[in-house]
Structure 1
Amino acid sequence: MDKPRLLVTRFAEDAQRLANVLNSNGIFSIAQPLLAVRKSIEFNNVGFMFTNSYDYIIAISVNAVNYTEQALSGSEWPASRYFAVGQTTQAALIKATGQAVTIPETRFSSEGLLDLSCMETLTGKKILILRGVGGRELLAQKLTERGAKVEYYQPYQRFALNLNGELLVQQWQHQCINGAIISSGELLQRLLTLVPENKIDWLKTLTIYVPSTRLAEKARCCGLNNVQVFPGVQDDQVLNYFK
């Protein structure tokens, strides 16, 4: 079996950090951000976090925490019970709020949050979800079904970087890339859009590494049949998978 030579398709800082971790452990990787983030039109609406009282506030990503912190501009975060999807987001939220932050026990995902015992019965609970514009709806749908009133604060949005797909694929082929780490449906779709039609067959030869069966199914539906699911998107989880 060929040793992995990986394309890491996260946001710039995250992609470079993970690539550095992998390279320092002998796993060839190159960081290739496909999307970036910027403030959304909702950014300045942060005041409603104080005019409304929430039982739970859930952060979906580090970007959600960081952009909310920017919007608060030195104001203290409201009193609430805080949750995060994963460990990195948890650390950012603890630093920002100075409060305890609960995360899933095993699966660091929306599904993992929904498995928490405190999320089973939510009648009368008011919940605020911090996320980017256009995020996945599953969490809000399930929380609503369990009796909660759910609102969003979406202080940032993703946008596609202007990249030359033909040139990039040539570079990836020259570097003998044989796998790609893809952590979201948006990144998957961006990669498929970026790769020229005459290079799609090459893309299909790569092993696509994803953190969930849901994303694996989506990749297969797009014609990428060589898909493997790894335990999670934290740097140490990815490293341990490939070591």
Structure 2
Amino acid sequence: MQGLKVLVTRPEPENTHTCQTLSNLGAVPVPLPMLQIKPLETEQDKRRLHSQLFNLDAYQYVIFVSKNAARIGAELIDECWPMLPVGIHWLGIGKGTTDTLNNLHIPAISSPGHDTETMLAWLKPVKMREQKVLIVRGQGGRPDLASGLESRGAKVDVLELYQRATPTYDAQTFFFLEEPDVIWVTSGEGLSNLTQQVQQHSPNLMNTTLFVPSERVAEHARSKGWARVICAQGADDQSLIAATMQHLG
């Protein structure tokens, strides 16, 4: 990947970590976050979150949907539980989320795949009947996981830890942007934000090879007019690196 210019659209702080990984490989990262993560930090928010987490031991499954959910959730759990409650199945969607949890001393495992659909296929109905499940995510996340689990007979609660906001860039940002060889997008929402900005400020980028984490996001990208879309089968750095190197041959 020596000299390859990669536009990285992850939110911070993950964007900085990914850019450092690319630099270590000799690539040239071009950071342009397409999501902002804003933890819910008012006193009222903190009381609500702590109140939910004090009941953590009532759940059989706790599922984290993203690295941000893992990072912020682990910090809040640590505030409420000096020792983790026992008897919980800790799950992360995607390798990056699960690795983040493990690095923060939460013994999580993941489904064999990297998205909600794979997680639902993995959690068979017989496993989930009458099970209490807590989904840890941001505000306004996709409802598919909760509704899919409820259809399997689970009792689902949601813990919303942060807001997602869309960064605003102007034409000048894109005028001075180093033209990338490839673009990495790690979520459907990030793709939507990127598409809107690119169509407005730099339509030629729609012809740049775009790496996305799942077939669902790939289909979305093609429907929006992206010319070259490759599914990396994961949103973590290693999946994106492997797919990029395979593409380069």
Q: TM-score band, normalised by the shorter chain?
A: 0.7 to 0.9
Q: Give 1:68's aligned amino acid.
A: G
Is 1:28 the counterpart of 2:31 in the alignment? Answer: no
Contact 1:59–1:84, Cα closer than 8 Å, also in 2: yes
Contact 2:53–2:80, Cα closer than 8 Å, also in 1: no
Unaligned residue ranges in structure 1 (runs of 5+): none
Distance 2:125 2:98 in 1: 17
Alignment RMSD (CA, Å): 2.4
Structure 2 partner of 1:89: 97
Structure 2 partner of 1:152: 158
Q: 1:82-231 alignment to 2 at 5 Å? A: 82-96=90-104, 98-105=105-112, 107-116=113-122, 121-164=127-170, 166-172=171-177, 175-195=178-198, 197=200, 199-200=202-203, 202-231=204-233
Is the alpha carbon distance of 1:24 and 1:10 closer, same or farther for their aligned partners in structure 2, counting shifts above 3 Å?
Answer: same
Q: Give 1:7's aligned amino acid.
A: L
- Give the deviation of 1:149 after TM superposition: 1.2
Greater displacement, 87-96 / 55-64 = 87-96
Is the alpha carbon distance of 1:44 and 1:72 closer, same or farther for their aligned partners in structure 2, counting shifts above 3 Å?
Answer: farther
Distance 1:224 1:206 in 2: 8
Contact 1:62–1:92, Cα closer than 8 Å, also in 2: yes
Is the alpha carbon distance of 1:110 and 1:43 closer, same or farther for their aligned partners in structure 2, counting shifts above 3 Å?
Answer: farther
Secondary structure of the corresponding residue to residue 69 of structure 2 = helix
Task: Give aligned-pair identity as a percent.
Answer: 26
Contact 2:11–2:35, Cα closer than 8 Å, also in 1: yes
Distance 2:19 2:91 in 1: 28
- Give the deviation of 1:157 after TM superposition: 1.0
Contact 1:122–1:143, Cα closer than 8 Å, also in 2: yes
- Give the deviation of 1:8 after TM superposition: 0.6
1:57 aligned to which of 51, 56, 62? 62
Distance 2:100 2:230 in 1: 29
**Normalised TM-score (structure 1):** 0.85
Contact 1:121–1:147, Cα closer than 8 Å, also in 2: no
**Normalised TM-score (structure 2):** 0.83
Is the alpha carbon distance of 1:224 and 1:44 closer, same or farther for their aligned partners in structure 2, counting shifts above 3 Å?
Answer: farther
Contact 2:12–2:37, Cα closer than 8 Å, also in 1: no
